Amino acid sequence: MSVTKKEYKRITVKSLVDMKQHGEKISMLTAYDYSMAKIVDAAMVDVILVGDSASNVMAGHETTLPITLDQMIYHASSVIRAVKRALVVVDLPFGSYQSDPKEALRSAIRIMKESGAHAVKLEGGEEIKESVKRILRAGIPVMGHLGLTPQSIYKFGTYTVRAKDKQEAEKLIADAKMLERLGCFSIVLEKIPAALTKKVSDSLSIPTIGIGGGKHADGQVLVIHDLLGMTHEFHPRFLRRYMNLYDGMSEAISLYVNDVKKGDFPSDEEQY
Ligand code: KIV
């Protein structure tokens, strides 16, 4: 589809809804540090997600569960210092919003106040309704996240495609409509059938952002380490790698090690 792109100097939650209305797809990518966020922002990515996937790709944990609110705030404030255009959304980490709405609000306020982020993201539907309401009432924009919700990995047991059966698909549709009614500005749909993504996206006026949700989402998100090919052992069907940075980096680092060992680095020109 050819779309005339409007120029957005600064992306806001309103710009995203506007993009959906004009048929412009939304690009979203994760970033967790200053240097990467600077590149991602300059490349005109619309939304930067400081995802709790930092727990995996930055800290080396097997799941997203261990990352703390303080650690998310540290990542988010590094990203915020780099960004001039993108909307910066930060994940509320596991354990910072599930026990009660007041705790959820306190966590969201800490993220907004201490990092300077523009919005928060929470995983779940009906179960977290009161928390979403409370955060929205405080004037904090909320992005929803349905389908495969990695913070519930021990309940699911696997990272396979969600909502393949009618009952789970119907709950997902009801949750998405509920999140829109409450006032969420967008919803991530992770690893669900493409036909379901289409159904949900067509039934909402707020944009959906897919990861493993197929082409009918209003936007797409990937983890930056996956897109760049740094996580070379991870290859789900939905992932398109735009680089093989793992091999490129390994080669460069090996060359450096060799040069140091041989006494070739530094050369006469590289010293004072
Ligand atoms: O934490 C994350 O990176 C995410 C994306 C996978 C949507 O939530």
Task: Determine whether the shortest distance from the Cβ of 221 to ligand 1 is under 6 A.
Answer: yes
Give the pairing type, strands 186-190 and 219-222: unpaired
Contact 117, 69 (CB under 8 A): no
Task: Determine whether the shortest distance from the Cβ of 210 to ligand 1 is under 6 A.
Answer: no
Q: Which of 27, 28, 29, 30 to mutate to test the pocket of ligand 1 (most atoms within 8 A of CB)?
A: 30
pLDDT at 232: 86
Residue whose CA is at the smallest distance from ligand 1 atom 8: 51
Residue whose CA is at the smallest distance from ligand 1 atom 4: 51
C-alpha 136: how far from chain center: 19
| Residues identified as active-site | 190
Q: What pTM value is reported for the model?
A: 0.96
Residue pointed to by tokens 């969201």: 108
Residue pointed to by tokens 């005109």: 44
Q: Which of 52, 186, 234 to mutate to test the pocket of ligand 1 (most atoms within 8 A of CB)?
A: 52
Q: Where are the domains of the chain?
A: 13-241, 244-272
Half-sphere exposure of 53 (CA within 13 A, CB side): 18
CATH topology of domain 13-241: TIM Barrel (3.20.20)
Task: Determine whether the shortest distance from the Cβ of 148 to ligand 1 is under 6 A.
Answer: no
Residue whose CA is at the smallest distance from ligand 1 atom 1: 51
* pLDDT tens by residue, the chain, 272 residues: 555 577 899 999 999 999 999 999 999 999 999 999 999 999 999 999 999 999 999 999 999 999 999 999 999 999 999 999 999 999 999 999 999 999 999 999 999 999 999 999 999 999 999 999 999 999 999 999 999 999 999 999 999 999 999 999 999 999 999 999 999 999 999 999 999 999 999 999 999 999 999 999 999 999 999 999 999 889 999 999 999 999 999 999 999 999 999 999 999 999 99
- Tokens at residue 48, please? 């930067």
| Ligand 1 nearest atom to the CA of residue 121, by list position | 8
Q: Per-residue b/e over 254-266, b at no fewer than 16 CB within 10 Å?
A: eeeeeeeeeeeee
Residue pointed to by tokens 């996580």: 231
Question: 255 C-alpha vs ligand 1 centroid, how far in Å?
Answer: 34
Question: 51 C-alpha vs ligand 1 centroid, how far in Å?
Answer: 5
- 3-state class (DSSP) for residue 113: helix
